[in-house]
Structure 1
């Protein structure tokens, strides 16, 4: 009999509920999140309420994708993305490689001098966990606005035909996370790799007329272990371990 070997959330993805920040942005939009990219994780949005958009910047250019209830949007690693909240925007976020985003697989579009040293970057993005909520909100808004200004600069350069600022940011982001890669690989092996390997083994077993793993079926359910946490894009209900 082949063991299932993996019994985590399907495909080892991460799930969170997001209420996008409604703080006015530096260029006067009604609200929005903090621009950033992921190094190894694709990200998906299932829009459940409100209206808005996701602004994206890649080497292919700038794009804006409208968001409303029922829309499912996703993008691959390396996509700088920024949520815009036109009113009441709420999203269920589905993240590839559960565990990697929390381990640092995201780099905010901060000024270049904040990206050259991991300690400097960590201080620039830190939300004081034990501080009063108002102080946490101020820290989240300050880092958002700082990253937004740099995002607008990168977008302006790209639209003017100058790819170097975006390329420089990409290089700095890759170098910034390099010390974390060994830990990321371990999380990937325990999650997404284990999930895919379990499917491979089950397919092989079924070809051999062995359905023994079906007897190991189980059911699990959980609720959020943190509500309203200040995230990059808004207030998060977090489901650790998913």
Structure 2
């Protein structure tokens, strides 16, 4: 049932931001990266830190503390920086697209330009891939022309995946929106039949942490909630 998916066809996870420092700039935290089709939101549940972002408006630093809520649209290069036990609930639009590759790390141009080299860099141990990405992130922040080149290369890198991404979008976000449209159509006719199908749902948390780009993740399978 489409109405059983997590609200809006989004996904949710818990993020414990990496506490170790990068030698390129001495900051603790994650690997800078960009999403090309998805918007991401951070709700900070504990600790302190910063969100470092880079887009055509320039480089910005946004303080993070318990209760902070920020979100950023496709094209915003971002990196979570940990000042002390930073925990975040992450909500992603387009459930399934980030897992299907809607993220490009800020590796050097020679790596972004070659899909095989990019995959090899992604597979590096977290500290090594972060060093590579942070070093180039600092270059991008200092050179708007380099940012334009990164955007162009990132689009070329993910372009082969778009057809598969469209199917994920159709089965999640589009399907959820169409379900709401059908409900509104029914209500306009005075039909409340869907109310008889109401349910309380829950989703299991992953049993182990997964190493994400900005920290250790606990994910939830929200594709089809479990009736509580």
Structure 2: state its 5+ residue gaps.
224-228
1:96-149 CA distance string (max 9 Å, x none): 01100000000000011111122221111026xxxxxxxxxxx01110111000
1:9 to 6, 22, 32: 6
Partner of residue 186, structure 1: 167
Partner SS, residue 227 of structure 1: coil
Partner of residue 105, structure 1: 102
The answer on 1:42 being equivalent to 2:39 is yes
**TM-score scaled by length of structure 2:** 0.94
Partner of residue 150, structure 1: 136
Q: Report the Cα offset of residue 28 of structure 1.
A: 4.5
The farther-off stretch of 184-193 and 215-224 is 215-224
Q: Report the Cα offset of residue 61 of structure 1.
A: 1.0
CA contact (8 A) 2:24 2:131 kept: no
What is the rounded CA distance, in whole Å, between the counterparts of 1:49 and 1:103 in structure 2?
Answer: 29
The answer on 1:222 being equivalent to 2:203 is yes
Counterparts of 1:174-213 in structure 2, within 5 Å, are 174-213=155-194
Give the RMSD, CA atoms, in angstroms: 1.3
What is the rounded CA distance, in whole Å, between the counterparts of 1:95 and 1:7 in structure 2?
Answer: 17
**TM-score scaled by length of structure 1:** 0.89
Partner SS, residue 103 of structure 1: coil
2:90 to 90, 93, 97: 93
